[in-house]
Structure 1
Amino acid sequence: MSIPSFSQKGKKEVVIPQTQEDSLKLEGVLVEAEKQLILENYAKSLENFHVALDMNTESAAIHFKIAEVLAKNDEGQKALPYGLKAIELAPDNKYYRLGLARIYQSIGFYIDAAKTYEDLVARFPSEENALYELAELYQLTGRREDMFRIFDQIEDQLGVKEEITREKQRIYMKEGKVDEVITEYEKLIAAYPHESSYKAELINFLIQNRKLDQAEQAIANYEDTESTSSRITLMKSELAWMKGKRKESLELLSSAFETTSIDFQSKFQILSNYLVMKPSPEERSKLTEIAVSLADKHADEFKAQAFVGDLLYQDGQSEEAIGYYLKAVTLSPANYSVWQNILNIEADLNQYDSLVKHAEQALEYFPNQALLYYFAGTGHLINQDYKKSVRMLEQGRKYTVDPNLLTVFYGQLGDAYNGMRELDKSFRAYDKALENSPNNDHVLNNYSYFLSLENKNLDKALEMSTQLVELHPNNPTYLDTHGWVLYSVGKYKESKKFLERAASMEEDGTVIEHYGDVLFQLGDVDEAIKQWERARDLGNASELIKKKITDRKLYE
């Protein structure tokens, strides 16, 4: 076999190896070059291919391989002359042309790349790879009409191809050409009449784009050829909804959901879609009923239980919601948002034993979530287990980065330490809370009230309670606190104004008793006794209330 090459003087001539040894040496160099290329040792591979090229300078294959190695090593500019030489030596090799076009693309020479692909397609009209590459290049360079021309050529030569159809539809949708998208669906269906998914896609597209009459006809055609009645029922349901026949739509939806031919995930997604389409309260109630049925049939699906919990919670059915939420966290306990909903509901319903239990369960999975410590600490606080409350709140505040939440933690710690009669810690916690939030009403109220009960730092207590009623002039609890602080500093007439207002607004034993106390201090004993009797009957008065009434005396 003769091997063409260049002479040392640069004059083109044919050099035929004189010995078998020369041929074997060239073959060995090429094998080593390919080996290094496979190993991605590009420098070694290139070195061997250059040795081979010195031995046979007129080999298109070796020129092409050098171009390939350089291209793989991101050296497209250096690869280019070798790619061009390969085509010059072997103009009818389509793979060399394809490789050259890709080299042009890699270095951003898109016009040259397109010209190379065009030449390739002209020489080899049925070369599928080149057609696709050329279409992609036209797309990249914004040559829409040329791209569609190539799409048409592909379809003429190779038939309708899904990937081409999808790309054309994407472009048409971007251009707002809905009818052209529909035409492409129809071509795809005609080319693949037994592929039912294309028919279903077309129907869904028609419905979404409010081509309702066309959708109705497409459903009828689909129904003639398909036996999957549940899918058709769903399409009819959606169509009826879009036509305003919502009662009929929901009946069809319920019927479709009774079948097992539709998997849970599909049912769940469909139901979610209906719920975002602004259903009326009556329609939402029906959708919730369907969701409950779905959750009951799929008791092992976390998503179903949590979804129903969300629906019921949003509709104000908190007690019903919590049952589904608890099922959900049994199936998937590492879901923080569901735990948070459970705890919010239990706090709203004053279910503090459950609140503590579930907050501590949630902490097993989310030990760094400050809010869970807050719920647990607050539950213990309300249940008067102050030591546990302090432990939870002190731990939780370490994980708190939100200043507002930190204020709440310190406020609750102030209450808990007060319950333990560790007053210095209580007042320090309140001070910390007010550093973050000087107008926090809970802290201003409790801090000033507890100071007055202890007869400590009454000037500060009065300053805080005054601030409190200025911020909330119509809150009976705060009016009572301010009135009681005024009472504690001996300002009985001024105290009476606030306590009288609070007593007229709040049927609470403590508030009424305070009003009776100030009346007594002002000498109105008979009216004071009446208010004490009222406080006794309401409950929540002090342990001294009966003695006050019996002895007609003030005990503090």
Structure 2
Amino acid sequence: MAGLFGLIALMLLSTAPGLMAQVDRVDEEAVKIQELFIDASREKLLGNYDEAISMLENILRKDRENATAAFEMARIYEAQSDRDKSLKYAKDATEWDADNIWYHKFLADLQQQAGQFEEAAATYERVVELEPNDEQSYYRLAFLLVKANEIKDALKVYDDLETRLGLNEEVIRRKHTLYLSQRQDKKAAEELLRLIEAFPDNVQYRHLLAGFYEQIGEGQKARSVYSDILNIDPDNAKAKMALAGQSGQETDEIRFLNQLKEPFYSPDTDIDVKIRKIIPFIQKVADTGDQSLADALLELTDILEEVHPGSAKASSAAGDLLYHSGRKAEALPKYLQTIEEDNANFMVWEQIMQLYEETFQFEALRGFSERAMDYYPNQPVVYYMNALADYHLGNHDAALSTLQQAGFMAGGNVRAMVLIYSLQGLLYQATGDTGAADEAFGKALATDDTAPPALSRYAYALAQREERLKDAEQMARKANELLPGQAAFQMQLGWVLYKRGDYQEARAWLQCAAENEGSASPVILEHLGDTLYQLGKVEEAVANWKKARAAGAGSSALEQKIEQRKLVE
């Protein structure tokens, strides 16, 4: 035996040098791969992607299943927007190192970007296996399944997550949304009822259920839930607001709005909730001009301004109500207050400029439009309004220059181009260039031959020239039919009729214009005075000429008309 053991020992010793050499070679190869990887990483950081790829390919030739090299190749190809190669190497990385969660997450991102939602979901299933306690991984998996239209599987993921977490509001909300998207209203309601059952004193969950019932048209169920809320919290303003005027019978609008006063005084109810409650009534005022309804709503907006000071939404709503119920002078301060509280709503800026135009406050319009240019330098309507102000103030060259800028910005905006071309027509008319005026009006009508501003302004220009008066009358009448109640259009039709010798009807239209905010316009008042003089009403004519002088600059003959108490052409 001793001899045998000796022989074995001799044999082992004789093979040891070969084994040691093999270990050295393996270690040397690993070191070379490590060096290559370091060099590749450096080149990648420097943006030398081709050199980095070459080195990583060399690594993969030496070590065919090197997951780290494959992952880095995938990242480089992603940076180069080569989706196919990036996906290939990312898949290789996950196959060669199936337990590396970051490889799977990266692959799922690539698959999602490529619209491969089923594949991305399958990849994320492995992420959940590797990270079973990470809540966000479940949400991501469910999201990918929804994108892949695998709704049942997504719901199962939420069920699995709920098993781990217990009853969870976020999970229930997401399940509720999924059931809702599938029109499974009963199951959607059941999810919210589970929340209420678990937290019976939390009225917010009951509000969610009531809102859901309202959304699907189950008004009676919604009212029942709101009643339950008031049993728990008798002062709950949102529930009171929801039940106002909803006893199950029809009630008049004013009474309904009066019932909203108490909940509107609650500072805890978000102003958006309150505003949403009255928006349909504000729209009705806009459509009908109903002053009684507007007054009832203004009482509520007063409460909103008191309870939510500094809220632009309250002052803006008040401005809309005043404007649409015919109280433009009162609306203006509300709109100005709105932009002081929040200057980011361009529609309010535009409304203010429109108000200045409609009330013939052209000095104010010029100053305000210049201010608007600082905030909204790319809005063509701002430049148009500035040019309009300059036109009425007699600054014709400045107006034409500003209109040119407006035209550059307007692009394909038909409404803006109609306004710009038709105002150019008035400006060229004022400077005596009737050819350019006709060309501009032609462009306006070619852009939209039913646009009231283009029709009315061209008619007025023709009347001033005493040309094509029959055509002018047709255009002016059409403008007033398409957009009634505009003082400028009423005045322009009145002047066309004056030039046609129909002084009685001209007086009627000019009187309408003067009563419709036109009492501040020297042009309207002077035209009305001229018409009254033609009808033999000298005292009334002189009175209107004096009003025109007090309102601002009239024609060059205005002073002579007043002094001589007669018409001076």
**TM-score, normalisation: structure 2:** 0.62
1:373 is matched with which residue? 386
Match of 1:345, SS state, is: helix
The yes-or-no answer on 1:208 pairing with 2:211 is no
AA matched with 2:317: F
- The offset of 1:321, in angstroms, is 0.8
Aligned to 2:275: 271
Partner of 2:423: 409
Q: Could you tell me whether the CA contact under 8 Å between 1:94 and 1:124 is conserved in 2? A: no
- Residue 469 of structure 2 corresponds to 465
Q: 1:30 to 1:318 in 2, by over 3 A?
A: same
With the length of structure 1 as denominator, give the TM-score of the two structures: 0.64
Query: Which residue identity does 1:373 align to in structure 2?
Result: N
CA–CA separation in structure 1 for the residues paired with 2:46 and 2:238: 54
Match of 1:183 among 181, 185, 190: 190
* 3-state SS in 2 of match to 1:399: helix
For structure 2, the residue ranges without an aligned partner over 5 or more in a row are 1-18, 79-85, 408-415, 446-453, 479-492, 512-527, 546-556
Aligned residue pairs total 464
Gaps of 5+ in 1: 1-12, 88-92, 381-385, 418-424, 451-460, 484-497, 515-530
Residue in 2 aligned with 1:395? 401
Query: CA RMSD for the aligned pairs?
Result: 5.2
- Superposed, 1:116-131 pairs within 5 Å as none
Residue 290 of structure 1 deviates from its aligned partner by 0.9
* Residue matched to 1:238: 242
Quick one: distance in 2 between partners of 1:259 and 1:346? 36
Contact 1:120 1:130 in 2 (8 A): yes
**141, 144, 152: which one aligns with 1:145:** 152
1:291 paired residue number: 301
Q: Show the counterpart of 1:258.
A: 265
Partner of 1:171: 178
Separation in 2, partners of 1:200, 1:137: 30
Instruction: Note the alpha carbon deviations across 1:74-123, whole angstroms, 9 max, x for none.
Output: 42324434533445xxxxx5849956984995788877777777789889
* Mapped partners of 2:323, 2:506: distance in 1: 34
Kept in 2, the 8 Å contact 1:303–1:328? The answer is yes
* Aligned pairs for 1:333-344 within 5 A: 336-344=346-354
Residue of structure 1 equivalent to 2:8: none
Q: Which amino acid aligns with 1:175?
A: Q
Cα distance, 1:312–1:52 mapped onto 2, change above 3 Å: same
Deviates more, 1:282-291 or 1:119-128: 119-128
CA distance in 2 between partners of 1:108 and 1:268 (Å)? 37
Shift of 1:313: 0.6
| Residue 68 to residue 296, structure 1, CA distance change in 2 (3 Å) | same
Change (3 A) 1:161 1:68: farther
User: 1:393·1:409 contact (CA, 8 Å) conserved in 2?
Assistant: no
CA distance in structure 2 between the partners assigned to 1:509 and 1:97 by the alignment: 86
Aligned to 2:541: 539
Greater CA drift, 233-242 or 125-134? 125-134
**Cα deviations by residue, 1:450-496 (Å, 9 ceiling, x for unpaired):** 5xxxxxxxxxx5x523543566699664344235xxxxxxxxxxxxx
Inter-CA distance 409–204: structure 2 relative to 1 (3 Å threshold): same
Which residue identity is paired with 1:234? K
Q: Distance in 1 between matches of 2:202 and 2:21?
A: 61
Q: Deviations over 1:180-200 (max 9, x none)?
A: 111111234455667654343
Aligned counterparts of 1:469 and 1:115: Cα–Cα separation in 2: 73
Alignment of 1:397-476 (within 5 A): 397-401=403-407, 402-413=416-427, 416-417=430-431, 425=432, 427=434, 430-436=437-443, 440=455, 442-444=457-459, 449=464, 461=466, 463-469=467-473
2:327 is the counterpart of 1:317: yes
CA contact (8 A) 2:176 2:187 kept: yes
Q: Distance in 2 between matches of 1:547 and 1:109?
A: 87
Seen in structure 2, the aligned counterparts of structure 1 residues 157 and 378 have a Cα distance that, compared at 3 Å, is: same
8 A Cα contact 1:97 1:116, kept in partner: no
Q: 158, 161, 164: which one pairs with 1:154?
A: 161
| Secondary structure of 1:276 counterpart | helix
Tell whether the 8 Å contact from 2:229 to 2:239 is kept in structure 1 after alignment: no
Specify the alignment match of 1:72 in structure 2. Answer: 75
Which residue number corresponds to residue 482 of structure 2?
Answer: none
| Displacement of 1:309 | 0.9
CA deviation after TM superposition for structure 1 residue 291, in Å: 0.9
Task: Summarize the Cα distance change of 1:110–1:407 in structure 2 as closer, same or farther, 3 Å threshold.
Answer: closer
- 1:328 partner letter: T
How much does 1:216 deviate? 4.2
- Measured after TM superposition, the shift of residue 29 of structure 1 is 5.0
**Percentage of matched positions with identical amino acids:** 18
- Find the aligned partners of 1:99 and 1:545 in 2 and give their Cα distance: 86
- 2:95 aligned residue (55, 74, 84): 84
Shift of 1:434: 4.8
463, 478, 484: which one pairs with 2:496? 478
Question: 8 Å contact 2:240–2:263 — kept in the other structure?
Answer: no
- Looking at structure 1, the residues matched to 342 and 134 of structure 2 have their Cα atoms a distance apart, in angstroms, of 53
Distance 1:469 1:103 in 2: 67
For 2:244, what is the secondary structure of its paired residue?
helix
Q: Which has the higher contact order (CA 8 A, sep 6+)?
A: 2
Of the structure 1 ranges 474-483 and 404-413, higher mean CA displacement relative to structure 2 is found in: 474-483
Deviations 1:487-540 (A, max 9, x none): xxxxxxxxxxx67987999996644665xxxxxxxxxxxxxxxx7xx3434425
